[in-house]
């Protein structure tokens, strides 16, 4: 399986699932906007940050693997995520961020990321941590785990606040593979 075949569909289907979770939160009545400030623990980022960071991770990997400079818009998204405790935004804005990430993924060609498998990716993190990885290891050991961490944290925040989510909401894309039951 190529990097494009792995990362793009996985990210897109999970971002669509995230959008569905927000729809469910909104449908459960007034107060849904306050969920954006909810946290699992005091030292964790709120839901609004988790959404932004999931969108960031899905897109940032595509630029890095293609050897392109990460655009300023994604740097702004990261800053928004870090500052979301003070400015969580709205559900409409959160869904727009998801839409932007989905548009980026949809605009990629069928092998857009594949040449990046052997490319050296330098990942510089706050605190002076610098990692040098191949594109393949970056995708496996950083991009996917980071994406799913923020996605699952968003799911856990919503569940902890009483939003009616279950396994079917987490993997709605699986129903495309469902085998029909035999007739009795």
Give the pLDDT confidence score for residue 28 in this predicted structure: 85
Mean predicted confidence (pLDDT) in 122-142 = 94
pLDDT(184) > 90: no
Per-residue pLDDT reduced to its tens digit, 32-76: 889 999 999 999 999 999 999 999 999 999 999 999 999 999 999
What pTM was computed for the model? 0.93
Residues sharing a CB contact under 8 Å with residue 146, sequence separation 6 or more, in sequence order: 53, 57
- Where along the chain do its domains lie? 3-177
Model confidence at 150, pLDDT cuts 50, 70, 90, reads: very high
Return the bridge partners of 129, or none. 125
Model confidence at 126, pLDDT cuts 50, 70, 90, reads: confident
What does the alpha-carbon distance between residue 144 and residue 141 come to, in Å, rounded to a whole number?
Answer: 7
Q: How many CB atoms lie within 10 A of CB 78?
A: 16
Residue 132 phi/psi, 5-degree rounding, is -115, 120
Model confidence at 26, pLDDT cuts 50, 70, 90, reads: very high
Give the pLDDT confidence score for residue 20 in this predicted structure: 97
Third-level CATH fold of 3-177? 1.20.120
- Which tokens sit at 51? 């959404």
Per-residue pLDDT reduced to its tens digit, 78-123: 999 999 878 888 999 999 999 999 999 999 999 999 999 999 999 9
């Amino acid at each position: 399986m190529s990097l494009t075949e792995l990362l793009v569909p996985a990210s897109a289907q999970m971002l669509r699932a995230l959008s569905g979770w927000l729809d469910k939160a909104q449908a459960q009545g007034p107060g849904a906007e306050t969920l954006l400030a909810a946290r699992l623990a005091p030292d964790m980022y709120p839901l609004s940050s988790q959404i932004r960071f999931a969108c960031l991770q899905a897109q940032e990997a595509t630029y890095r693997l293609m050897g392109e400079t990460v655009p300023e818009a994604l740097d702004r998204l990261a800053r928004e995520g870090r500052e979301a405790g003070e400015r969580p935004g709205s559900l409409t804005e959160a869904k727009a961020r998801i839409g932007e990430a989905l548009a980026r993924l949809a605009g990629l060609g069928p092998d857009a990321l594949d040449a990046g498998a052997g490319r050296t990716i330098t990942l510089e993190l706050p605190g002076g941590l610098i990692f040098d990885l191949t594109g393949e290891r970056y995708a496996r050991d950083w991009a996917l785990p980071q994406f799913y961490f923020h996605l699952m944290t968003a799911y856990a925040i919503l569940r902890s606040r009483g939003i009616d989510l279950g396994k079917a909401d987490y993997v709605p894309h699986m129903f495309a593979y469902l085998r029909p039951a035999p007739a009795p």
